[in-house]
Amino acid sequence: MKCKRVILAAFSAGLLLMCGQLYAHHGGAEYDRSKSLSLKGTITDFRFINPHVLFQFETKNEKGEVEKWQGEVSNPLQLTRQGWNRHTFKSGDEVTFIGNPAKSGAKSLWIDRIILPNGQDAGQLHNRY
Protein backbone atom coordinates (compact mmCIF):
# COMPACT_ATOMS: atom_id res chain seq x y z
CA MET A 1 0.00 0.00 0.00
CA LYS A 2 2.80 2.39 0.88
CA CYS A 3 4.57 1.67 -2.39
CA LYS A 4 1.36 2.22 -4.33
CA ARG A 5 0.79 5.54 -2.63
CA VAL A 6 4.29 6.66 -3.38
CA ILE A 7 3.68 5.88 -7.04
CA LEU A 8 0.38 7.74 -6.96
CA ALA A 9 2.02 10.67 -5.29
CA ALA A 10 4.86 10.82 -7.78
CA PHE A 11 2.39 10.72 -10.65
CA SER A 12 0.29 13.43 -9.14
CA ALA A 13 3.29 15.64 -8.46
CA GLY A 14 4.08 15.65 -12.14
CA LEU A 15 0.48 16.37 -13.06
CA LEU A 16 0.16 19.20 -10.59
CA LEU A 17 3.27 20.79 -11.98
CA MET A 18 1.81 20.66 -15.47
CA CYS A 19 -1.70 21.71 -14.59
CA GLY A 20 -2.94 25.02 -13.39
CA GLN A 21 -5.82 25.72 -11.13
CA LEU A 22 -7.76 22.65 -10.13
CA TYR A 23 -11.17 22.66 -11.74
CA ALA A 24 -13.87 20.37 -10.61
CA HIS A 25 -16.14 19.20 -13.37
CA HIS A 26 -19.51 17.85 -12.32
CA GLY A 27 -23.09 18.96 -12.42
CA GLY A 28 -21.64 21.87 -10.57
CA ALA A 29 -24.83 23.27 -9.16
CA GLU A 30 -24.75 21.24 -5.94
CA TYR A 31 -21.47 22.66 -4.71
CA ASP A 32 -20.23 26.10 -3.74
CA ARG A 33 -17.12 26.60 -5.84
CA SER A 34 -16.25 29.78 -4.02
CA LYS A 35 -15.56 27.89 -0.80
CA SER A 36 -12.89 25.38 0.01
CA LEU A 37 -12.79 23.18 3.05
CA SER A 38 -9.96 21.09 4.41
CA LEU A 39 -11.22 18.21 6.51
CA LYS A 40 -8.96 15.75 8.25
CA GLY A 41 -10.86 12.56 8.68
CA THR A 42 -11.05 8.81 8.93
CA ILE A 43 -12.54 6.95 6.03
CA THR A 44 -15.52 4.79 6.95
CA ASP A 45 -16.50 3.71 3.45
CA PHE A 46 -14.89 3.80 0.00
CA ARG A 47 -17.04 2.91 -3.00
CA PHE A 48 -15.28 2.53 -6.34
CA ILE A 49 -18.47 2.91 -8.36
CA ASN A 50 -20.11 4.52 -11.35
CA PRO A 51 -20.47 7.36 -12.11
CA HIS A 52 -18.35 8.84 -9.32
CA VAL A 53 -16.18 7.24 -6.70
CA LEU A 54 -17.60 7.92 -3.25
CA PHE A 55 -16.21 8.33 0.24
CA GLN A 56 -17.80 8.43 3.64
CA PHE A 57 -15.66 9.68 6.47
CA GLU A 58 -15.71 11.05 9.98
CA THR A 59 -14.09 14.27 10.99
CA LYS A 60 -14.02 16.38 14.12
CA ASN A 61 -15.43 19.87 14.03
CA GLU A 62 -14.11 22.85 15.98
CA LYS A 63 -15.89 21.67 19.09
CA GLY A 64 -14.26 18.29 18.88
CA GLU A 65 -17.52 16.61 17.90
CA VAL A 66 -17.40 13.84 15.37
CA GLU A 67 -19.27 14.63 12.17
CA LYS A 68 -20.17 12.19 9.43
CA TRP A 69 -19.37 13.46 5.95
CA GLN A 70 -19.50 12.15 2.43
CA GLY A 71 -17.52 13.12 -0.66
CA GLU A 72 -17.18 12.31 -4.33
CA VAL A 73 -14.45 12.35 -6.94
CA SER A 74 -14.22 11.42 -10.61
CA ASN A 75 -15.53 8.42 -12.48
CA PRO A 76 -13.80 5.12 -11.75
CA LEU A 77 -12.49 4.63 -15.28
CA GLN A 78 -10.48 7.85 -15.07
CA LEU A 79 -9.06 6.78 -11.75
CA THR A 80 -8.36 3.23 -12.90
CA ARG A 81 -6.04 4.68 -15.50
CA GLN A 82 -4.15 6.39 -12.72
CA GLY A 83 -3.70 3.23 -10.74
CA TRP A 84 -6.73 3.36 -8.47
CA ASN A 85 -8.91 0.37 -7.77
CA ARG A 86 -11.45 -0.70 -5.18
CA HIS A 87 -8.64 -1.34 -2.68
CA THR A 88 -6.94 2.06 -2.99
CA PHE A 89 -8.57 3.26 0.20
CA LYS A 90 -10.21 1.37 3.02
CA SER A 91 -12.08 1.99 6.22
CA GLY A 92 -9.75 3.32 8.86
CA ASP A 93 -7.48 5.24 6.48
CA GLU A 94 -6.74 8.70 7.77
CA VAL A 95 -6.47 11.39 5.13
CA THR A 96 -7.24 15.06 4.59
CA PHE A 97 -9.97 15.89 2.11
CA ILE A 98 -9.89 19.27 0.39
CA GLY A 99 -12.85 20.35 -1.66
CA ASN A 100 -16.00 22.40 -2.17
CA PRO A 101 -18.90 22.03 0.24
CA ALA A 102 -22.51 21.47 -0.75
CA LYS A 103 -24.63 24.59 -1.17
CA SER A 104 -27.42 22.96 0.82
CA GLY A 105 -25.30 22.88 3.93
CA ALA A 106 -25.26 19.10 3.86
CA LYS A 107 -22.06 17.47 5.02
CA SER A 108 -21.04 16.65 1.49
CA LEU A 109 -17.88 17.53 -0.39
CA TRP A 110 -16.76 17.71 -3.99
CA ILE A 111 -13.26 16.45 -3.32
CA ASP A 112 -10.46 18.17 -5.23
CA ARG A 113 -7.54 16.66 -3.39
CA ILE A 114 -6.78 13.93 -0.92
CA ILE A 115 -3.67 14.39 1.15
CA LEU A 116 -2.12 11.23 2.54
CA PRO A 117 -0.66 10.98 6.05
CA ASN A 118 2.86 11.46 4.67
CA GLY A 119 1.81 14.78 3.18
CA GLN A 120 1.69 13.62 -0.41
CA ASP A 121 -1.21 14.06 -2.77
CA ALA A 122 -3.28 11.04 -3.77
CA GLY A 123 -3.34 11.97 -7.41
CA GLN A 124 -5.43 13.58 -10.07
CA LEU A 125 -9.01 13.20 -8.96
CA HIS A 126 -11.06 14.77 -11.70
CA ASN A 127 -11.55 14.83 -15.41
CA ARG A 128 -8.68 16.94 -16.53
CA TYR A 129 -6.96 16.79 -19.87
Partner 1 sequence: MTSYLDTQTIVSRSAFAAQMVLAVLLLPLACGARQEKGKATSSNHDLSGVWKMPPEAYGHYDQSFGTTDLPMTPWAQGKFEAAKPSEGPKSVTIAQLNDPFYACYPPGVPRIYLHPFAMQIVQTPKEVIQLFEYDHLVRHIYIDGRSHPGDPDPTWMGNAIGHWKGATLVVDTIGFNDKSWIDRVGHPHSEKLHTIERFRRVNQSTIQMDLTLEDPMAYTKTIEKQFVFVLQPKWGILEHVCIDNAEFLEFNNREVQPAK
Find the binding residues for partner 1 in span 55-94 (CB under 8 A): 70, 72, 75, 77-78, 80-81
- Please say which residue, 104 or 117, places its beta carbon nearer to partner 1: 104
- Peptide bond between residue 51 and the one before it cis (omega within 30 degrees of 0): yes
In angstroms, give the least distance from the CB of 96 to partner 1: 20
Taking residues 5 to 24 in sequence order and writing x for each that binds partner 1 by CB under 8 A, - otherwise, the string is ------------------xx
Minimum Å distance from CB 116 to partner 1? Answer: 23
Number of residues lying near partner 1 (CB under 8 A) = 31
Give alpha helix (H) positions in the chain.
2-18, 76-80
**Which of 16, 82, 107, 120 contacts partner 1 by CB under 8 A?**
107
Q: 112: closest CA among 15, 121, 104?
A: 121
Query: CA 82, CA 40: separation in Å to the nearest integer?
Result: 23
CA atoms within 13 A on the CB side of 87: 3
